[in-house]
Amino acid sequence: MDRHPALRVLITSIFVYRHGEEAAKVIKDALSKALDRYYPVAGRIVEAENGEVEIGCTGEGVWFVEATANCSLEDVNYLQLPLLQLSQEDLLPFAPPKVDEKDLVFLMQVTRFNCGGFVVGLRSCHTMFDGVGQAQFLKAVGEIARGLARPTVEPIWCRDAIPTPPKLPQGPPPALAPFSFETSVLDIASEDINRIKNLFLQETGQRCSTFDIITAKTWQCRTRAIGIDPREHVHIGFAVNTRHLLHHVLLPPQQGGYYGNCVYNMTVSAPSETIACASLVQVARLIREAKKRVPAEFSQWMTGEIRQSNKLPLGYGTLTVLDWSRVGLFEVDYGWGEPLHGAPLVDTNFIAWCILLKPLPPKEGVRLIMRCVEREKLAGFNDQMISLAS
């Protein structure tokens, strides 16, 4: 996954905390100490002569920005999306113009609000981290900020020990025409998710996950909303954490430690009519069956038996789903508790996407940030999605 040219991008996100005395100073000092162990993060991305991406361990450090906002978190609705009073540029760190940001690994900004709360804005290179890896690094910063002498999980580089799959084509990703997708936000309560889980158990005799239900529902609702030819195939893509499948090289498996990319991308395809007309249980079963195939397909991919299995078509009929709710990002504590909430700041229109997050307390369930239909389709899509809670 590290080799894919499309991943050499900075993933942007914010995490909102209720309070934190001198949070910027505390986090900056802890970040500096964490980089002793995560020293590649303080380096720069370089390209070797053979075109492979590498990390130059230059020790140049990460970009850290301290900012203040002349308002309270309540004044800006705790920065729930969509952002209204403040912009992404206000909350995210940026390097000076003379610095080529595509070579940077990690940037952080801590913005203090006059209510005592603060927001951590992050930009991290996907070539270095997947979600689990970034969460591990941030948890290490948090543990040091809380007074621990060293992180409870020691980092493992270990990328040279991972089997090398067939090389991906070199060069930039293909040029894509943007769509006009609109952002929507929806909270799904635990009781509504559990109702569908129970229905799935009754009809199949098997259990399913929250991810299965949400992914199936979003895929079906979007398929119905966009109204493409019933015979045309629609596709859904999602990434599966495969660290447990590499326990023989990612040692010691009981503690973890590997913070690079370690996922396998799965794709499920079916005619539009099939997804639109099936029951939600039937669509969720397709998702579950794909997840069950991961160990065998991942093994075949790593040994070169299959090359680019599950290549996700890039087009209007494709939806990607990411689960941020369970990778650990919402468990990062710098000394004043876990974040009130967090969210990606992504406005790309090249592919439809949905991200699972944790809702604001005291709500329980899932918050969905979606950017997958155009304005004229949005009302119908939202009505379909809300029906999960009916």
Return the structure tokens found at 323: 């689960």
Q: Which two tokens stand for residue 348?
A: 């790309």
pLDDT at 390: 44
- Alpha helices (H) along the chain: 23-37, 88-91, 131-145, 190-204, 210-226, 272-277, 280-292, 294-302, 375-386
Give the residues across from 106 on adjacent strands.
124
Q: Render pLDDT for 164-208 as a digit per residue (tens, 0 to 9).
A: 665 555 556 566 778 899 999 999 999 999 999 999 999 999 999
Could you give the angle at which helices 210-226 and 190-204 cross, rounded to 10 degrees? 90
Burial 280-293 (b: 16+ CB within 10 A, else e): bbbbbbbbbebbee
Q: What is the DSSP letter of 188?
A: E
Confirm whether pTM is higher than 0.75: yes
Would you call 61 exposed, middle or buried from its count of C-beta atoms within 10 A (0-12, 13-18, 19+)? middle
Q: Active-site positions?
A: 126, 333
Find the distance separating the first CA and the last CA of the chain, reported in whole Å.
Answer: 40
Does 181-389 match 5-161 at the fold level? yes
**Closest C-alpha among 138, 165, 200 to residue 324:** 138
**Taking every pair of C-alpha atoms in the chain, what is the biggest distance, in angstroms?**
60
| Domain spans of the chain, in order of start | 5-161, 181-389
3-state DSSP assignment of residue 23: helix
**Pairing relationship of beta strands 233-241 and 106-113 according to DSSP bridges:** unpaired
pLDDT value of position 301:
82
Q: What is the reported pLDDT for 254?
A: 59
Q: What is the CATH number of domain 181-389?
A: 3.30.559.10
d(CA 108, CA 326): 22
Instruction: Specify burial of residue 169 (Cβ count, 10 A radius: 0-12, 13-18, 19+).
Output: exposed
Residue 43 tokens, joined: 């380096």
Q: Which pair of structure tokens corresponds to residue 317? A: 């009929």
Check: CB of residue 72 under 8 Å from CB of residue 115: yes
The Cα-based distances of 276 to 176, 185, 247, 352 in angstroms read 26, 22, 39, 17
pLDDT the model gives residue 389: 53
Each residue's pLDDT tens digit, 133-176: 999 999 999 999 999 999 999 999 888 777 666 555 555 656 67
Identify whether the C-beta of residue 29 lies closer than 8 Å to the C-beta of residue 64. Answer: no
Q: Using an 8 Å Cβ cutoff, are 56 and 168 in contact?
A: no
Residues linked to residue 236 through DSSP beta bridges, in sequence order: 268, 319
Domain 5-161 has CATH 3.40.50.920: no
Spans of the chain below 70 pLDDT: 1, 4-6, 163-175, 251-255, 307-310, 389-390
Residues 6+ apart with CB under 8 A from 293: 266
- How far is Cα 72 from Cα 6, in angstroms, rounded to an integer? 37
